[in-house]
């Protein structure tokens, strides 16, 4: 080696502007804090993650094993195998009354990638996307990543956390590209009935430049006889500007398989394929084979699990409403409750800290009473907190007792 060669240490990493205002999800951060407390020996109950505690159904696992053994282990068509696209066409027809050709279907690594593809394929810098608070936190970050601007419209509690058509009308500008609707909703569990969808459709029909992203991933988790409907079914005149997004993660307990899909206009599906072709290419071949079995195989497991989620929902909602200072709407679907903690703000914890925000309340629950929940502020609506009740009834009962004790200890 020449003595004149100098070793220069690397210059510090410079992050791209496009991620300057984005961090990894706060929900994951709360999960990490809870995991840390567990390692320290604390018996923390985590009601944070949006993940069913059930296992993937056996018939679906078996289909994956068969796929591996049959050598289904190669690249597939870019945005989904023909067989899976046909199964998805069948699902949309059977369950939603929607008619798609296979060239109107896209499959990605989770509904998250499908949403990402749609935004990346359509947003230019400064384009606006309307989301309804409280919204799934990733929406805003995905919009930012794609160069767009998130426009929040309040879904107020007295309005069932749903979008008011008049508020939508007021939020639309010439730069609006998308309205994102999520029903049943993460984090509120609120769902849109046919009348509400029709009223929203009336507004959209007056604004032909606004497209609709319908995130139906919690479709199968719906309670009390509520009838799930999706916009493209209710208003066919919007079908040529609606992307109907769904996935396997929540209904079939397949979060780790990373499989989501959507149906929509051909030109949009083709544009999304461009994004996927230069990022991840096809979703996992084995997961795709398993997804065919999930969609076409026996569906009884959905009903069993739905019944179990319903019992958990009522357990949590009843316990929260029996706690002074907490108020919780009984949600129509998903596996979340979004409760108000307005009644405990201003109170003082036993170690002398005044609770000023929902984040303070959630930190108190975690640090003093070993229950991890997520503050509403990160979903764009405070002061609330989200509970994911996708865990056992025994754990939920203990958690509810702890929350009641935590609230009672406030002065
Ligand atoms: N949409 C909503 C509203 C969600 O809550 C989630 C998961 N947290 C997703 C989409 C993405 O699910 P996946 O990527 O696992 O299909």
Choosing from 111, 184, 189, 335 the residue with most ligand 1 atoms within 8 A of its CB, the one to mutate for a pocket test is 111
* 3 occurs within a structural domain: no
Q: Give residue 27's pLDDT.
A: 83
Shared-domain flag, residues 38 and 79: no
Q: How far apart are CA 156 and CA 103, in angstroms?
A: 38
308 lines ligand 1 (CB under 6 A): no
- The atom of ligand 1 lying closest to the CA of 258 is 15
108 lines ligand 1 (CB under 6 A): no
Question: Domain boundary at 296, 317, 352, which?
Answer: 296
* 14 occurs within a structural domain: no
- Rounded to the nearest angstrom, the distance between the alpha carbon of 246 and the centre of ligand 1 is 9
What ipTM does the predicted assembly reach?
0.99
Identify which of 301, 155, 156, 117 has the alpha carbon closest to the alpha carbon of residue 220: 301
- Per the CB < 8 A criterion, the answer to whether 410 and 403 are in contact is no
183 lines ligand 1 (CB under 6 A): no
Shared-domain flag, residues 242 and 334: no
Pairing of strands 371-372, 336-340: unpaired
* 37 occurs within a structural domain: yes
Q: Give residue 409's pLDDT.
A: 97
- Rounded to the nearest angstrom, the distance between the alpha carbon of 138 and the centre of ligand 1 is 9
Shared-domain flag, residues 271 and 335: no
- Rounded to the nearest angstrom, the distance between the alpha carbon of 247 and the centre of ligand 1 is 8
Shared-domain flag, residues 177 and 318: no
- Rounded to the nearest angstrom, the distance between the alpha carbon of 114 and the centre of ligand 1 is 10
Shared-domain flag, residues 128 and 268: yes
Query: What is the chain's Cα-based Rg?
Result: 22
Shared-domain flag, residues 376 and 234: no
Q: Give residue 334's pLDDT.
A: 98
Shared-domain flag, residues 259 and 125: yes
* 16 occurs within a structural domain: no
247 lines ligand 1 (CB under 6 A): yes
Question: CA torsion angle for 318, 323, 326, 328 (degrees, to 10)?
Answer: 0
- Rounded to the nearest angstrom, the distance between the alpha carbon of 112 and the centre of ligand 1 is 6
384 lines ligand 1 (CB under 6 A): no
Question: Domain boundary at 250, 269, 296, which?
Answer: 296
249 lines ligand 1 (CB under 6 A): yes
- Rounded to the nearest angstrom, the distance between the alpha carbon of 285 and the centre of ligand 1 is 20
Percent of the chain at pLDDT above 90?
Answer: 93
- The atom of ligand 1 lying closest to the CA of 215 is 1
111 lines ligand 1 (CB under 6 A): yes
* 66 occurs within a structural domain: no
CA 378 distance to own-chain centroid:
13
Q: Give residue 317's pLDDT.
A: 98
Question: Domain boundary at 277, 296, 315, which?
Answer: 296
- The atom of ligand 1 lying closest to the CA of 259 is 16
Q: How far apart are CA 27 and CA 21, in angstroms?
A: 16
Shared-domain flag, residues 272 and 395: no
Q: Give residue 377's pLDDT.
A: 95
- CATH code of 132's domain: 3.40.640.10
* 118 occurs within a structural domain: yes
Nearest CA to ligand 1 atom 3: 186
Choosing from 106, 110, 139 the residue with most ligand 1 atoms within 8 A of its CB, the one to mutate for a pocket test is 110
* 12 occurs within a structural domain: no
Q: Nearest 5 degrees, angle CA 116-CA 117-CA 122?
A: 100
Kindly list the averaged pLDDT for each block of 10 residues, start to end, along the chain of length 411. Answer: 75 91 82 92 92 95 98 97 98 98 98 98 98 97 96 96 98 98 98 98 98 98 97 97 98 97 98 98 98 97 94 98 97 98 98 97 96 96 97 97 98 95
- CATH code of 375's domain: 3.90.1150.10
197 lines ligand 1 (CB under 6 A): no
* 200 occurs within a structural domain: yes
Tokens of 80: 């989904």
Count of domains forming the chain: 2
Q: How far apart are CA 107 and CA 292, in angstroms?
A: 12
| Residue labelled with tokens 């764009």 | 380
Shared-domain flag, residues 149 and 42: no
Tokens of 411: 């002065």
Where would I find the beta strands (DSSP E) of 335-390? 336-340, 371-372, 374-375, 384-388
Q: What is the pTM of this model?
A: 0.96
- The sheet with strand 242-247 has its strands ordered as 105-108, 260-263, 242-247, 211-215, 176-182, 128-133, 149-154
Identify which of 288, 363, 374, 298 has the alpha carbon closest to the alpha carbon of residue 338: 374
Shared-domain flag, residues 38 and 107: no
Range of the domain at 45: 22-51+301-408
Shared-domain flag, residues 290 and 373: no
Q: What are phi and psi of 153, to 5 degrees?
A: -120, 135
Shared-domain flag, residues 82 and 100: yes
Q: How far apart are CA 197 and CA 191, in angstroms?
A: 10
Q: Give per-residue pLDDT as tens, 302-346.
A: 999 999 999 999 999 999 999 999 999 999 999 999 999 999 999
| Residue labelled with tokens 């800290």 | 353
């Amino acid at each position: 080696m020449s003595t004149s060669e100098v070793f220069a240490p690397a210059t510090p990493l410079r992050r791209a502007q496009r991620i300057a205002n984005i961090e990894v999800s706060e929900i994951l951060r709360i999960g990490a804090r809870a995991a840390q407390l567990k390692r320290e020996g604390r018996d923390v109950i985590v009601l944070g993650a949006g993940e069913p505690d059930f296992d993937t159904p056996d018939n679906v696992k078996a289909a994956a094993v068969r796929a591996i053994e049959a050598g289904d282990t190669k690249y597939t068509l870019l945005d989904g195998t023909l067989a899976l696209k046909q199964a998805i066409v069948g699902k949309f027809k059977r369950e939603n009354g929607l008619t798609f050709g296979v060239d109107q279907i896209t499959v990605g690594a989770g509904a998250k990638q499908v949403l990402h593809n749609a935004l990346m394929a359509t947003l230019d810098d400064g384009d606006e996307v309307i989301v309804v608070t409280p919204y799934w936190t990733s929406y805003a970050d995905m919009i930012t990543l794609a160069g767009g601007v998130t426009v929040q419209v309040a879904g107020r509690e007295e309005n069932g956390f749903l979008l008011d058509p008049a508020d939508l009308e007021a939020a639309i500008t010439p730069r609006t590209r998308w309205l994102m609707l999520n029903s049943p909703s993460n984090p509120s569990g609120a769902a849109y009935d046919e009348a509400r969808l029709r009223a929203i459709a009336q507004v959209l029909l007056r604004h032909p430049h606004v497209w609709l992203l319908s995130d139906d991933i919690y479709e199968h988790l719906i309670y009390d006889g509520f009838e799930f409907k999706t916009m493209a079914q209710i208003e066919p005149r919007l079908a040529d500007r609606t992307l109907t997004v769904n996935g396997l993660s929540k209904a079939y307990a397949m979060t780790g398989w990373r499989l989501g899909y959507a149906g929509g206009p051909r030109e949009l599906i083709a544009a999304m394929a461009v994004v996927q072709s230069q990022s991840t290419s096809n979703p996992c071949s084995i997961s795709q084979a398993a997804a065919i079995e999930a969609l076409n195989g026996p569906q009884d497991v959905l009903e069993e699990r739905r019944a179990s989620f319903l019992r958990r929902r009522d357990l949590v909602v009843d316990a929260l409403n029996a706690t002074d200072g907490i108020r919780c709407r009984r949600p129509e679907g998903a596996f979340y409750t979004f409760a108000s903690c307005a009644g405990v703000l201003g109170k003082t914890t036993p170690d002398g800290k005044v609770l000023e925000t929902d984040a303070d309340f959630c930190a108190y629950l975690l640090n003093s009473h070993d229950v991890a929940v997520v503050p509403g502020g990160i979903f764009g609506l405070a002061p609330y907190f989200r509970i994911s009740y996708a865990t056992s009834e025994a754990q939920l009962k203990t958690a509810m007792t702890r929350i009641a004790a935590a609230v009672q200890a406030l002065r």
